Structure 1
């Protein structure tokens, strides 16, 4: 046996009631989601001045907008009068640089959230307009990606935010990429179940036959060459199921494995580039870097047993402009895999309610699941 990533012994999983118990869910919302950085979207989703979008994190609704000058801001989507929601739609465009409450017509400056006007006939002497502006949500735009935090004291550190930070991402200048497609789905499962599924490949051969064909090592129920205790010997075998990476002749994640002539030189010149680079930031997002595109997947809890996932496909401007490039090939392949994962997560959720007092168990290949569990337990 040589040094490998796998667990040396089986360990207990999380208690099954952690996947549906409301008190546990509320604790996680308070200790995790209200204190950690979470991903919103790529700023290209707000293409024009006065465009906006909203997102739901548990019971909290957030408004992100680009003002008339092109600056991006984030606020709680709540009127400071009596708490009405301000923007009802998931996305749209303001008519002016004012946010007007649809209930009592209080209006706010979209640029700084300050209260401009109420609808009352008089203004009481003890009423302070300066104290009734919109509540800002802390925001960080990093390489074009918009991150938010309910904790205004939290500082940004990309190497700490990402549990597997790669310098490749910053060198790609992703702020200049364009959003080519967005896909959303609500899954009937606890948000942690999604992350557990993402973190292992024991399910890959039977649930992802197409993906296991494209990435042969997944067909061995492994995510990394070092998952096999004999990896130092096996890696000498000239086959991607032992060396990792894409199957021979494939260039990217797509229905036919072709990058359609759009390869990123920096990645192709990178030593031992396997065809993909993953970066993960708990609790809300992972991204996958491919030679012709980047896919970002956002994970947000809606309730103790429902989770919304959103996937964005980013392309270089020249790729988007190429009429011969068929982005449907990369989109369709990834959507198929995410749908398969969604079905698996819902299967998992249906079983956790049974009256089993003992928690589950993690097997050797599920070391990334254990890292995620340890991360959760440390925070709550």
Structure 2
């Protein structure tokens, strides 16, 4: 579920309530199961938006790694000197894959294992055609690898398949994590899971907290407002403008099993950021990042088909925290894993119910304003990209 921040950074007028003033219809049931609709999403939403593929420093230098960007198989090349390039994993000769394994060594050239066509690893320029001897009409310059745009934000690598990529945008200002030491964080734990649901079902579950009291007892204890079925005080019926200073229960500092920080609190945080306990940053359709006071968690959503979705969850720490005697990053991850497993089971339950021939679509409640916004965004992205 998505948890918005409505605490007061200073004594200013409170934000208006985000509650919907009507109960709109959901998307039709077919869009969660139909293969053709899914293919359209891959060709539009996932082909035109920035897709997070992980932390840049987790891409080894002198290596190339395969990643999935919507329907495209892409290779990310990291030069020994640290330079980055990305290309579709398809030879321009006859289409063979260039990188066969998940990760392979990278030199100055990317050589096709089929017919030995070779390309410059930094630019994708065609350098050699193996044993083939082209005729004079063959334009080498027009047969380089097809590049994929890339950019880095806060140490995360994003790829974009579009010909003219738009700016990277999130649900909040990208400067919101400027007080966290994002560039220097190190990935300490990785957890992968597959869930039997459409990718949108997982995002919708993330976008509301009506399910929290019945699905997340541990989370509701740590973040009391969730126990009311809302993500923030401003969602309550009759909200009078009171804005709490923090989100966590009294005495808790972070999302750990006991609520204690797992290491030193990041020194650059303001008092308000420490009091809040966390900050969510959401990048549709690909990922969200949760910055806690002592570590950062990232969750990537990777569609595998109309009814299958992969989650790649990573926990990132300062080198100082990782160096603590006896430190175990997997123990820090235990609390979020409890919540994520509960979310996965809820999303699968929701998907199974939507497969009923009796279900044609549903109705959103006023507290599900973020789902409504997600639906409007999705439909606009599919229309604009057609």
Could you report, residue by residue, the CA deviation over 1:184-205 in whole angstroms, capped at 9, with x for unpaired residues? Answer: 2222211111110100111112
Q: Which of 198, 204, 210 in structure 1 is aligned with 2:218?
A: 210
Does the CA-based 8 Å contact 1:179-1:314 persist in structure 2?
yes
Question: Residue 207 and residue 91 in structure 1: after superposition, are their counterparts in 2 closer, same or farther (change >3 A)?
Answer: farther
CA distance in 2, matches of 1:261, 1:272: 14
User: Partner residue of 1:50?
Assistant: 62
CA shift, 1:109, in A, is: 1.9
Higher mean C-alpha displacement, 84-93 vs 247-256: 84-93
Question: Residue 11 and residue 243 in structure 1: after superposition, are their counterparts in 2 closer, same or farther (change >3 A)?
Answer: farther
Question: Residue 357 and residue 168 in structure 1: after superposition, are their counterparts in 2 closer, same or farther (change >3 A)?
Answer: closer
CA distance in 2, matches of 1:174, 1:152: 29
Q: Which of 76, 79, 95 in structure 2 is aligned with 1:67?
A: 79
CA distance in 1, matches of 2:145, 2:174: 36
CA distance in 2, matches of 1:165, 1:325: 33
Q: Is it true that 1:175 corresponds to 2:183 in the alignment?
A: yes
What TM-score comes out, normalization by structure 1 length?
0.90
CA shift, 1:91, in A, is: 2.9
CA shift, 1:243, in A, is: 6.5
Q: Which of 97, 109, 113 in structure 1 is aligned with 2:120?
A: 109
CA distance in 2, matches of 1:219, 1:24: 36
Cα root mean square deviation, aligned: 2.2
Q: How many residues align?
A: 368
CA shift, 1:71, in A, is: 0.2
Does the CA-based 8 Å contact 1:3-1:229 persist in structure 2?
no
CA distance in 1, matches of 2:187, 2:280: 19
Does the CA-based 8 Å contact 2:63-2:104 persist in structure 1?
yes
SS in 2 for 1:39: strand
Q: Which of 77, 80, 89 in structure 1 is aligned with 2:101?
A: 89
SS in 2 for 1:218: helix
SS in 2 for 1:266: coil
CA distance in 2, matches of 1:296, 1:316: 15
Equivalences for 1:1-380 in 2 at 5 Å? 4-47=17-60, 49-94=61-106, 96-156=107-167, 158=168, 161-165=169-173, 167-232=175-240, 245-270=247-272, 273-356=275-358, 358-380=360-382
Does the CA-based 8 Å contact 1:6-1:364 persist in structure 2?
yes
User: Partner residue of 2:6?
Assistant: none
User: Partner residue of 2:5?
Assistant: none
Question: Residue 64 and residue 229 in structure 1: after superposition, are their counterparts in 2 closer, same or farther (change >3 A)?
Answer: same
CA shift, 1:233, in A, is: 7.5
Query: Runs of 4 or more off by more than 6 Å in structure 1?
Result: none
SS in 1 for 2:151: strand
CA distance in 2, matches of 1:361, 1:299: 25
What TM-score comes out, normalization by structure 2 length?
0.89
Could you report, residue by residue, the CA deviation over 1:300-356 in whole angstroms, capped at 9, with x for unpaired residues? Answer: 222222222211211122222223433222212222221221121112222222223
The answer for unaligned runs of 5 or more in structure 1 is 236-241
The answer for unaligned runs of 5 or more in structure 2 is 1-14
CA shift, 1:357, in A, is: 5.9
Question: Residue 92 and residue 340 in structure 1: after superposition, are their counterparts in 2 closer, same or farther (change >3 A)?
Answer: farther
Higher mean C-alpha displacement, 226-235 vs 299-308: 226-235
